[in-house]
Amino acid sequence: MSSLATKLKGRSELGVALLLGAAGGLVLWDAAGLVTPYSKSDPVGPKTVPYLVAGLLIVCAVMLAINVLRGGHGEAEGGEDVDLTHPADWKTVLPLVGAFVANILLIDWAGWVIAGTVLFWGSVLALGSRRYVRDGLISVALSLLTFYGFYLGLGISLPAGLLEGIL
Amino acid sequence: MDVFTSLMDGFATALTPMNLLYAVIGVILGTAVGVLPGLGPAMTVALLLPVTSVLEPTSAFIMFAGIYYGGMYGGSTTSILLNTPGESSSVVTAIEGHKMAKAGRAAQALATAAIGSFVAGTIGTTLLAVCAPIVVKFAVSLGSPSYFAIMVLSLLAVTAVLGSSRLRGFASLGLGLAIGLIGMDSVTGQRRLTFGQPLLTDGLDIVVVAVAIFAVGEALWVAAHLRRTPLNVIPVGKPWMGKQDWKRSWKPWLRGTAFGFPFGALPAGGAEIPTFLSYVTEKRLSKHPEEFGHGAIEGVAGPEAANNASAAGTLTPLLAMGLPTNATAAVMLAAFTGYGIQPGPQLFESQGPLVWALIASLFIGNFLLLIINLPLAPLWAKLLQLPRPYLYAGILFFATLGAYSVNLQAFDLVLLLVLGALGFMMRRFGLPVLPLILGVILGPRLEGQLRQTLQLSAGNPAGLWSEPIAVGIFIIVAIILVWPLLLKLWRRSRPQTAMASTGGSDGTGTANGTDVLPEDAAAELPADNVTTPAEHAYSNNEPVHSRRRQEKP
């Protein structure tokens, strides 16, 4: 038991293998549920490719699991603004996701201008800016500009929501 | 003659004031996103897809072409002034370019990059105009078995050749193909992977997938590892070159072009291998080999030319056969489909004016890049100082806007978040993004060709190799697949070289344990012997990547 625990420690990448396996299983299960009579004009049918894809995913899942257990690991991606020397900073990511979710919940009901403002303001705050007033003004301006830009320039009317009639 | 007249017609279309305006917008936008961290040309084109749907296809593609070339150029600015290449294709530029900048020669480095890009882009586009019709002539003779084989090849090549771990490449491809399956099957009308959800019946919008993986995934990933220390940008004036610089630059430009174009045109050729080959060649041929590693102008001129020439090369298979070989081309392919234009050999036939206007706009875009960017270089350098919270909040904001405006439904935003989380996970665990995107875009087309092939052969699998071209391509596919095995055997017989090239091909990706400093990696890289290009790519893949990924603290 404890040897298993030590083996699993620091092997979060096994989660990737699990995800691949689950995705493969899902594709397999879905394809098996399709009912199609054999047709001469379509000998391949809608099932063949899903089966192949499921196979690929499951094989990858197994091989990745073996690879990870043997000590292999994927390289995290770098970039201009990426500093891999510190661990993942969930205190930034989670509020950011929160702002995103708030936007999803608000967009149909409150409209793009409000939802967009919440998204941008929340994201900037989550990413560490502390100039609340300036950030707020920029958020409102950006949302309004895109709202009217899309409406006038592209003929796409984003939802006005609560501000219906004012905008 | 025929090409020439068509091209002149293309210029006539592209030079109308409106289209010229879109070219200028594209070039400026492209350079800006090339310079800005976290944004690339593929993501930008994806974000703009919904916006451009109200434009004429010709105008939209003229703008996309500007973004594509501009992005290539912008990447070099970051490499030179910051030493942190954003795109893997500008990794090599950073080696000498940043040294030049440190030595006070940033202006010359930027100038040789800009002018070299112009020269290479112009030659590359000319080659595209000449080659594409020839490729089309060849491509129209191909049947669905050959197409099937070519698509398999390009998917496999991108998956197996690029990137440091083949296994992770295939995992990414599998996920992409699975995403591509979602929706109604075009032949039988069966719903696949929709889970009874009517919103999934039409499949996932490629805009949503691309924006999620490129933009949202990237923003979340950077947010988790945001560099809190300010970056050290080297200030720069207006780029210029002295007589000596011109003398030392023009040959590398031409040689770089010669490397870049053919590699760009190959499936999975990409820009990494030719930029690297160009660097090695220039180091060999230089009269000042001692300057390499301390800021040799040839080391900027050659790779930058190779980079841009490969960008032009990439468009050859895209326009002539409908085959994307990199992320930007893949998104452009999605754009073609969005306009109801079927990419493939018929494209030149059915959309001749559009294609030639696009090619003409590449020439124009190149020229615009040169005259706009030489004076604007100091401005671009300033752009690098943009506060990061605004940059990444802005990426999320526009990603949401772009994805939402396609169908105006909040459900797409849920997908955006879920796939964004997938993009985050892929970056965390080293799964390459490109195979996934190509899988989503090419998967359904691949399936279509497969079914058509077997329909013609009445279900006999032998129909798959009923064309000689298809047989030839399947042999290449087989070679790509067994290549690592052959390499292992070969290494065993030559133990000396074995150490130098572990990791690149065995799929374990374990070679990153070494703490190679960028300088060391750079100094060691060119020391290897050039064998064949492919072999070279293998033996150097890992160091190049680790250089990209392990920045200076």
Q: Do residue A62 and residue A108 come from a single domain?
A: no
Q: Are A96 and A152 found together in one domain? A: yes
> Pick from A37, A69, A101: which residue ends a domain?
A69
- Decide if A81 is inside a domain: no
The count of structural domains within chain B is: 1
Prediction ipTM score: 0.91
Residue B181 and residue B203: Cα distance in Å, rounded?
8
Containing domain of residue B249, as a range? 2-549
- Nearest residue of A to residue B408, measured between CA atoms: A158
Cβ A53–B167 below 8 Å, yes or no? no
Query: Chain A residue with minimal CA distance to B184?
Result: A46
B286 in Cβ contact with B95 (< 8 Å):
no
CB contact under 8 A, B405 and A150: yes
Considering the domain architecture, whether residues A95 and A159 belong to the same structural domain is answered as yes
H or E segment at B485?
Answer: helix B468-493
B509 and A73 within 8 Å at the Cβ level: the answer is yes
Q: Tell me the helices (H) and strands (E) count for chain B, helix number first.
A: 23, 2
Task: For residue B185, list chain A residues with Cβ-Cβ distance below 8 A.
Answer: 46
DSSP string, B522-546: HHHGGGSPP--HHHHHHHHHHHHHH
Q: How far is B286 from chain A (nearest CA, A)?
A: 31
Is A120 contained in some domain? yes
Q: How many domains, in total, are found in chain A?
A: 2
Cross-chain residue pair A76–B428, CB shorter than 8 Å: yes
Q: Which residues of A touch B54 (CB under 8 A)?
A: 154-156
d(CA A32, CA A113): 45
Q: What is the residue whose two structure tokens read 């936008």?
A: B29
Q: Which of B184, B429, B456, B481 to mutate to test the interface with A (most CBs of A within 10 A)?
A: B429
A78 falls within a domain: no
Pick B429's closest partner by Cβ from A16, A84, A126: A16
**Per-residue confidence of chain B (553 residues) as pLDDT tens digits?**
478 899 999 999 989 999 999 999 999 988 888 888 767 788 888 888 777 777 888 999 899 988 888 888 888 888 888 776 666 777 788 888 888 988 888 889 999 999 999 999 999 999 999 999 999 888 888 888 888 898 898 888 888 777 778 899 999 999 999 999 998 888 888 888 888 888 888 888 888 898 899 889 989 999 998 877 766 777 777 788 888 888 999 999 999 999 999 988 887 667 788 888 899 899 888 888 888 888 899 999 999 999 999 989 999 999 988 888 888 888 888 888 888 888 888 888 888 899 999 999 999 999 999 988 788 888 888 888 888 899 999 999 999 998 898 888 899 999 999 999 999 999 999 898 889 998 998 898 899 889 888 888 888 888 888 888 889 889 988 888 888 788 888 888 776 544 444 443 333 333 333 333 333 333 333 333 333 333 333 333 333 333 333 333 3
Q: Quick check: is A75 in a domain?
A: no
Please indicate, yes or no, whether residues A57 and A104 belong to a single structural domain of this protein. no
Q: Please indicate whether, in this complex, the C-beta atoms of B397 and A13 are within 8 angstroms of each other.
A: no
| Residue A74 domain flag | no
CA closest to A14 among chain B residues = B429
| Chain A residues in contact with B190 (beta carbon < 8 A) | 34, 36, 46
First and final C-alpha spacing in chain A: 63
| Residues of chain B with C-beta less than 8 angstroms from the C-beta of A23 | 174-175, 178
The parent domain of residue A49 ranges over 2-69
DSSP three-state, residue B182:
coil
- Same domain? For A94 and A158 the reply is yes
By Cβ distance, the residue of B37, B164, B228 closest to A80 is B37
Burial class (CB in 10 A: 0-12, 13-18, 19+), B61: buried
A65 and A94 assigned to the same domain:
no
User: Distance, in angstroms, between A94 CA and closest chain B CA?
Assistant: 9
Is residue A43 in a domain?
Answer: yes
Residue B505 to residue B541: CA distance in whole angstroms:
9
CB contacts < 8 A, A to B, total 258
Which chain A residues contact residue B548 at CB under 8 A? 78
Q: Which of A56, A73, A158 sits opposite B170 (nearest CB)?
A: A56
Three-class secondary structure of residue B454 per DSSP: helix
In angstroms, the separation between the Cα of residue A2 and the nearest Cα of chain B is: 25
Which of A49, A89, A119 lies nearest to residue B396, judging by beta carbons?
Answer: A119
Q: To the nearest whole angstrom, how far is the Cα of B60 from the nearest Cα of chain A?
A: 13
